[in-house]
Structure 1
Amino acid sequence: MQPIDLAVIEQALAWTRAGKPVWLCTVLSSYGSSPREPGSWLVADAEGGHEGSLSGGCVEEDFLARLRDGLFDRRISRIRYGAPEGPADPPTRLPCGGVLDVLIERLPPDPTTGDLLAQLHGALTGNAPLIRQVSTLDGSWTTAPDAGLGPRVEQLPEQNRVSLRVGPSARLIIAGISPVSTTCAELARSLGFEVIVCDPREEYTAEFAVPGVKLVTVLPSLYITADTCHRATAVVALTHDPRIDDLALIEAVRTEAFYIGVMGSTRTSQARAARLVRSGGLSQSDVDRIHMPIGLALGSKTPAEIALAAMADIVRTRRGKTREQL
């Protein structure tokens, strides 16, 4: 399985290359409880085929019915779900009680659309992130390089446009197979991460099977050096074997990975930090990038609890929250 945003853009590309117009829908804002955050995508064709989601299932059927009825034939449209009914506010209610504001772009199957989708695909797969400005009057758009900082969606009504940030899909590289690795991979997939597990040991890889997770049978350190870590990548070492964990950490700190963590007790972590400086050639600033012990201090004991603590800390870091803000 691919991350949902990447699957959306690849489906849009396939339809465009087949000569079909596509409707690219972007969640602009959500109020109250809503399962899809601003910036989330759904793409649809005229026959009702679709990839992605707007609400986790609450409003898609209504949207696709309206699409088939020709309600979104303009170049740019907006619709709000969950609000009091009005011209742009259908009666569909979100069971969670939230409100969802959606931008709908009709993209013709031409070279301009192909270029846009190719740019979005590149940003999602690790090229430089970009910022996309879309006119809410006529649907025209521009793209430019972006630092990747700030909200995914900014609405600028005084300028009749919205600003949309697109960057790499969240990726998790797990160094080594262990009971914690398996649970962590499953949890990360459910959170929408692209997950890669690296381990060269045949006795472990022969039994490893997690749906939607890529298994690479090489040393994690070798995989990391192959330019596989972009700024939306987290690297976790979960084996207790320094031959795997330490080498992975030494390579990971040389990348743009936003989170690097390793499993172990406080005493083990202190010994590892000294070893990485002494034998691994890392500086103190390199060591300070590594979360060890990994994860939030939940008092975790079981593999599932350790995986939960690790993924909670990864999500916290990706969202820009300090531990004191929790």
Structure 2
Amino acid sequence: MQHLDVQVVEQGLAWLEAGETIWLCTVLSTFGSSPRAPGSIMVAREDGSHLGSLSGGCVEEDFLARVQRGEFSQRVCIERYGDLREQPSAKRSPVQLPCGGILEVLVERLPPELGNRQHLAELLAVLRGQQQKLRTVSLLDGHCSLRPVVHAGGDTVAVSAECISIRVGPAARLIIAGLSSVARICAEFAVALGYEVILCEPREEEYRDFNLAGVRLEKTFPSVFIAEAGNCHQQTAVVAMTHDPRIDDLAMMEAVKTDAFYIGVMGSRRTSDKRATRLLSTGGLTTQELERIHMPIGLALGSKTPAEIALAVMADILRVQRGIPRDAL
């Protein structure tokens, strides 16, 4: 399945190239319950056609109706939904979210000018690429640009008095090395969380009855897939949970050579210590490479069942992706 953000930017670029003015909307922040996370985007044109979403529907309906009435003619603004209190830094919308949450949305009006077409083309290349970028938008004149990020983890959106910075990049990807009871549930959790999930399984007896919806199956050794250029980028997590060193160890040996933001392998503390010794002595890993591997994998939740272990694994991946230290939990 193609990353939704890619589809949104592709549509926006197509409208610009057809001579249409577009409105690019980005969720900046949410307070309380809210259906869409910061960084979520939607593109619309004057007749109400749109792609993407900002909420469960009520925000979109209000915004599109107002665009069709000729509102949002300024180059850039911040719109707040779900809060009737005075907010000097953002306009107040009368729409109350059914969930009781509050949503702040960046609204950019982009005419079909060369600079806007070039910017969306560059943004599209980032979304299809291998690395994150920081998209900055001036609140003074709407000027936007893309620049490299220093760290792959951290907040998606940062707002200052004059500028907004938004992390953009390829869809979060989870590569699972080998099929197991924990791997199955981990894959299901990851799909629900919006990850692009790839399962690498070379054993025919394991994948013969494979039927995980939304999961891409690669019938090859995980280490081979991981080593291929382009398969692991800055938004990739790699996990191994088979207890088979031929799969788990080899996957770890290749994963540490990539830009993956999370690398983990399942096993008890004793098993992990033995694996660490093995990877250093026969695997050829350096101490720095070994330190990149989370083992035992996941948060220490006292997990026992496959579902509990999978929950701990995905929670730890999310923690690292958000840039939250363990001691801050």
Q: Does the pair score TM above 0.5?
A: yes
- Pairing partner for 1:107 from 105, 110, 116: 110
Q: Cα deviation per residue 1:229-251 (whole Å; 9 max; x = unaligned)? A: 12221100122211111111000
The residue type equivalent to 1:214 in the other structure is R
Distance 1:3 1:271 in 2: 39
Structure 2 residue aligned with 1:62: 62
- Pairing partner for 1:156 from 153, 160, 163: 160
Q: Which runs of 5+ in 2 are unaligned?
A: none
Please show how residues 190-209 of structure 1 align to structure 2 within 5 Å. 190-209=192-211
RMSD: 2.4
Alignment of 1:6 with 2:6, yes or no, is yes
The residue type equivalent to 2:192 in the other structure is S
Structure 2 residue aligned with 1:44: 44
Confirm or deny: 8 A CA contact 2:130 2:234 kept in the other structure. Answer: no
Structure 1 residue aligned with 2:293: 290
Where 1:118 maps in the other structure, the secondary structure is helix
- Pairing partner for 1:281 from 263, 279, 284: 284
Q: Cα deviation per residue 1:112-165 (whole Å; 9 max; x = unaligned)? A: 3332222222323344432233232432223333324653323232xx332333
TM-score by length of 1: 0.89
The residue type equivalent to 1:100 in the other structure is L
Deviation at 1:110, TM superposition (A): 4.6
Change (3 A) 1:151 1:309: closer
Deviation at 1:14, TM superposition (A): 4.1
- Pairing partner for 2:250 from 224, 247, 268: 247
Alignment of 1:301 with 2:307, yes or no, is no
Confirm or deny: 8 A CA contact 1:4 1:192 kept in the other structure. Answer: no
Alignment of 1:80 with 2:66, yes or no, is no
Change (3 A) 1:176 1:48: farther
Please show how residues 229-244 of structure 1 align to structure 2 within 5 Å. 229-244=232-247
Deviation at 1:282, TM superposition (A): 1.2
Alignment of 1:142 with 2:154, yes or no, is no
Distance 1:206 1:47 in 2: 49
Where 1:113 maps in the other structure, the secondary structure is helix
Q: How many correspondences in the alignment?
A: 324
- Pairing partner for 1:124 from 124, 127, 150: 127
Q: Cα deviation per residue 1:11-37 (whole Å; 9 max; x = unaligned)? A: 333444555433210122323333333
Where 2:30 maps in the other structure, the secondary structure is strand
Confirm or deny: 8 A CA contact 2:81 2:95 kept in the other structure. Answer: yes
Q: Cα deviation per residue 1:238-267 (whole Å; 9 max; x = unaligned)? A: 222111111110000111211111112222
Q: Which runs of 5+ in 1 are unaligned?
A: none
TM-score by length of 2: 0.88
Where 2:92 maps in the other structure, the secondary structure is coil
Q: Cα deviation per residue 1:83-115 (whole Å; 9 max; x = unaligned)? A: 217893221112333322211112234543332
Where 1:59 maps in the other structure, the secondary structure is helix
Change (3 A) 1:124 1:311: same
Confirm or deny: 8 A CA contact 1:148 1:165 kept in the other structure. Answer: no
Confirm or deny: 8 A CA contact 1:72 1:106 kept in the other structure. Answer: yes
Q: Cα deviation per residue 1:248-297 (whole Å; 9 max; x = unaligned)? A: 10000111211111112222222222211222111232222211221112
